[in-house]
């Protein structure tokens, strides 16, 4: 039993929002507990609500194809959503639902401690790139407090608007290079922190 599975149990008991009553299953998130890359989507849809797993419908199929294009599988990354319950008829999440669910997401991020958070779509982008427009910042990153945030279109948007498809495919191709860069920066920082101690031994 890990801290993350304990957290899932707490999330399953959450009844802060009205939509907790209409859900079939809560969808906390899933993937590697030590993932370098965490993807954050919007909210569970029909299939996710049925199965209790994120991104298992058509958008999830496309996300898996995108991951495969950079030699990743969903088991090697972590996938979550801004909110953990399905909004009725797939309506947009309400601000209060996002606020109520945010502590769960923050605790997931703390436990997984990813190097990169990929925001999928407008709702997760708004949490980490406030006031920005996705059409302007998709495919770009910002680093804050040891986490690099990378904005992408939502895979479902690319399914409905064919012109976004090539953008999302191209943006995904940037991830391996970005991860390498982030890891190099961290190892340089670790070396420069270690050096003064090593020198003081002589
Ligand atoms: N869309 C999302 O944002 N999340 C899911 O889990 C499925 C579809």
Total of domains in the chain: 1
For residue 44, the CA-to-ligand 1 centroid distance in Å is 5
Residue pair 42/82 in contact (Cβ under 8 Å)? The answer is yes
pLDDT at 26: 98
In ligand 1, which atom is closest to the CA atom of 81?
Answer: 4
- For the stretch 120-178, pLDDT in tens is 999 999 999 999 999 999 999 999 999 999 999 999 998 989 899 999 999 999 999 99
pLDDT at 200: 46
- Tell me whether residue 65 is in a domain: yes
CATH number at residue 152: 3.40.470.10
In ligand 1, which atom is closest to the CA atom of 47?
Answer: 7
- Tell me whether residue 6 is in a domain: no
> Is pLDDT larger for residue 1 or for residue 27?
27
For residue 158, the CA-to-ligand 1 centroid distance in Å is 13
- For the stretch 19-73, pLDDT in tens is 999 999 999 999 999 999 999 999 999 999 999 999 999 999 999 999 999 999 9
Query: From CA 87, how far away is CA 19, in angstroms rounded?
Result: 6
- Tell me whether residue 9 is in a domain: no
For residue 43, the CA-to-ligand 1 centroid distance in Å is 5
pTM: 0.94
Nearest CA to ligand 1 atom 7: 55
- Tell me whether residue 109 is in a domain: yes
- Tell me whether residue 135 is in a domain: yes
For residue 153, the CA-to-ligand 1 centroid distance in Å is 12
- Tell me whether residue 190 is in a domain: no
Query: From CA 48, how far away is CA 3, in angstroms rounded?
Result: 23
Domain that holds residue 164: 27-180
In ligand 1, which atom is closest to the CA atom of 123?
Answer: 3
Statement: residue 201 has pLDDT above 50: no
């Amino acid at each position: 039993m890990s801290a993350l599975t304990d957290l899932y149990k707490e999330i399953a008991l959450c009844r802060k929002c009205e939509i907790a009553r209409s859900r079939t299953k809560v969808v906390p998130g899933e993937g590697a507990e030590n993932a370098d890359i965490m993807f954050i989507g919007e909210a569970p849809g029909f299939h996710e609500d049925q199965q209790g797993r994120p991104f298992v419908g058509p958008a999830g199929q496309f996300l898996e194809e995108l991951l495969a294009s950079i030699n990743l599988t969903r088991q090697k990354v972590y996938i979550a959503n801004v909110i953990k319950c399905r909004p009725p008829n797939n309506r947009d999440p309400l601000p209060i639902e996002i606020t109520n669910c945010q502590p769960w997401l923050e605790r997931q991020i703390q436990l997984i401690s990813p190097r990169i958070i990929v925001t999928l779509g407008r709702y997760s982008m708004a949490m980490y790139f406030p006031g920005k427009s996705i059409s302007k910042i998709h495919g770009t990153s910002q680093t804050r407090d040891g986490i690099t945030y990378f904005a992408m279109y939502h895979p479902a948007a690319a399914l409905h608007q064919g012109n976004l498809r090539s953008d999302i495919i191209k943006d995904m191709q940037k991830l391996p290079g970005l991860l390498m860069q982030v890891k190099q920066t961290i190892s340089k920082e670790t070396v420069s922190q270690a050096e003064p101690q090593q020198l003081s031994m002589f």
